[in-house]
Amino acid sequence: MSLRAKILVYLIVVHVALGSIAVWALHDRPVLLLIFEVAFVASAIVGYRLLSSFFVPLQLIRTGAELMREQDFTTRFREVGQTEMDQLVRIYNRMVDRLREERLRLEEQNLFLDEILRASPVGVLTLDHDGKLSGVNPCAARLLGEPAGTWVGRPVSELPEPFGEALSGLEDGASTVLSLRGGSRRLKCGRASFYDRGFPRAFFLLEELTEELHASEKAAYDKLIRMMSHEVNNSVGAVRSLLESLQGYGKVLADADREEYDHAVAAAVTRLLHLNSFMNALADVVRIPPPARRPCDLRELLGDMALLLRPELERRGIELLWVPPRSFPPVDLDKNQIEQVLVNVLRNSIEAIGHDGRITVSLSNAGRRPCLAIRDTGPGIVEEARDHLFTPFFTTKPRGQGIGLTLTREVLTQHGFDFDLRNVEDGGTEFRIRFGGPGGAS
C-alpha cells in the first residue's frame, strides 16, 4: 500500500471514529449534531484536498524521475498557480532544457567526429577499456587490408604484421615508422589516450608518410645528383680532351713503350666514359618525363623482354616460365618507361638467383585490375634490407649503384600504378604491379 493510500485510510478512520462519537454524544441535540456533521464533511473535504496538494509535488518528482530514467528530455510541466509547486516546475523545466541542449550538442559533436573519422586520410584505431579494438575508421581498415568489423573486439597484437608487434609495444605518447610492402610505403604510427567516463582509453594514429618522404628524398637526391653531374661532367670533359690529345704523343715513343702508353691512355679514357655513363644514369632518375600513355599489349611487351634476356638466362641456366593468356585487354602506359622497369626487375631476379633457378612471370586480372607478378627462386630479401629497398643509392649488390629500384619507383609512381616487392613463403621474392591503380605504391 502506498503512502498516499495509508494517509487516506487514516483520515477516513479518524473521521468515522469522531463521527461515531459525535452521533453518540449529541443524539439528543439535533442542532449541534447537524452543525457537527457539516463541520465533519468540511473537514473531510479539506483533509482530502490537503492530502492531494501534498502528494502532487511527490507525483511530479516521480514522473520527472521516470522521464529522466528514460532519457526523455522533451517533456515539460505546466505551472498550476501554486507558488511552491510552480517553483519546482520551473526548476525541472530549466534542468531538462539544459539536458536536452547538452545531449543535442553531444550528438552533433559525435556525428561531426564520425564524419571526420570516415573522411580522414589518417587511420584511427580506438581501444576499449579492456585494451581491445572498439573502432576502426575506413582509412585504417584499408591499411589493414580487411573490413573494420573484422578487427573490432580483437586485441592489437592480432593485427597483421608489421602492425601487431609494433603497435602492441608502443607506449602512450610514443610513435614509430613502419614500412609496408617491401619498403614502398611508410607509415607513422603514434599512440595517445583520452578519458571516457573518467577512465583512460588508448587510440592509435596511422599517418601515411610515403609521399612526404618520397618528395623529400627526391628533392635531396635531385640536388645532389645535379651538383655531382655538373662537377663530374666538367672534369670528365676536360680530362678526356687532354687524354685524347696525349694519344698523339705515343708516336714519338719507342716501340717498346708505345703499346703500354697507348693501353694506359685508352684505359683512362674508357674509365672516364664509364664515369660519364654512370652520372648520366643517375641524372636520368631525376629527369624522368611524364609518361606518354598509349594502349599497350602487355603480352607482347613481356614476350619482347623474354626474347631480350634469353641469352643471359641460358648462360646462367635459369628457366623463365611465361605462358601468356589467350586474350588480355590493352593497358594505357608509356611503353618505353615500363620496358625499363621490367628490365630492372628481371635483371634483379637474375642476379639474385645467380645460376640454376627459375623466374615465373604471370599476368592476370586481379579484382578487375591487370596484375603482373614476377617471382624468382633467389634467396629472398634479408630483414635488414627490407625497409630500405626503394631508398636512393641503397643496394645489396657488391657493384650495385642503388638506382634501379629508385628508377622503378619513380616510373610506377608517375604512372599511378600500385606495386610491392616481398618475400614469398616457398622462398625467393615476388615483384607485383597492379596497373590502373589510384596512384603510388600500396
In a domain, 87, yes or no: yes
Q: What is the mean pLDDT of residues 115-130?
A: 87
Asked if residue 304 belongs to a domain, the reply is: yes
Average pLDDT of the residues of the chain:
77
The whole-number average pLDDT for the span 118-134 is: 88
Same domain assignment for residues 301 and 279: no
Q: Same domain for 304 and 428? A: yes
Q: Are 352 and 389 in contact (CB under 8 A)?
A: no
Residues 53 and 160 in one domain: no
Mean pLDDT of 313-324: 90
In the block, residue with C-alpha cell 635531385: 222
Instruction: Please report, for the domain that includes residue 356, its CATH number.
Output: 3.30.565.10
Q: Is residue 366 located within the same domain as residue 319?
A: yes
Instruction: Answer whether residue 128 shows pLDDT above 60.
Output: yes
Residue 319 grid cell: 628457366
- Please tell me the predicted confidence (pLDDT) of residue 418: 84
Tell me whether residue 135 is in a domain: yes
Position with higher pLDDT, 300 vs 396: 300
* pLDDT confidence bin for 439, thresholds 50/70/90: very low
Same domain, 300 and 278: no
Q: Which residue has the higher pLDDT, 191 or 65?
A: 191
Q: Which alpha helices (H) appear in 247-334, and where do they start and end? A: 255-286, 298-316
% of the chain residues with pLDDT over 90: 9
Q: Which residues contact 252 (CB under 8 A, 6 or more apart)?
A: none
Task: Tell me: do 248 and 336 sit in the same domain.
Answer: no
Q: What pLDDT is attached to residue 31?
A: 63
Last residue within a domain, chosen from 267, 286, 305: 286
Contact 332, 294 (CB under 8 A): yes
Residue 358 and residue 307 in one domain: yes
* Among candidate residues 72, 103, 134, the one where a domain is terminated: 103
Give a yes or no: residue 406 inside a domain. yes
Q: How many domains does the chain have?
A: 4
Q: What is the pTM for the complete model shown? A: 0.49
Do 172 and 255 fall into the same domain? no
Same domain, yes or no, for 373 and 424? yes
- Asked whether residue 319 falls in the same domain as residue 388, the answer is yes
Specify the pLDDT at position 440: 38
| Residue 89 forms part of a structural domain | yes
Q: Indicate if 302 and 336 belong to the same structural domain.
A: yes
User: In the structure, what pLDDT confidence band is assigned to residue 442 with cuts at 50, 70 and 90?
Assistant: very low
Per-residue model confidence (pLDDT) at position 441: 38
Angle at 377 between CA 371 and CA 378, to 5 degrees: 110
Residue 85: closest CA among 103, 110, 59: 59
Q: Which pLDDT tens digit goes with each residue over 34-73?
A: 666 666 667 767 666 666 665 566 666 677 777 777 777 7
The mean pLDDT value for 305-314 works out to 87
Domain limit, last residue, from 286, 313, 346: 286
Lowest mean pLDDT segment, chosen from 10-14, 139-143, 241-245: 10-14
Residue-level pLDDT at 192: 92
Domain of 21, in residue numbers: 3-103
Same domain, residue pair 133 and 232:
no
* Residue 184 resides in a domain: yes
- What's the CATH code of the domain at 145? 3.30.450.20
In-domain check, residue 389: yes
Lowest-confidence range among 14-18, 120-124, 161-165, 268-272? 14-18
Residue 29 lies in a domain: yes
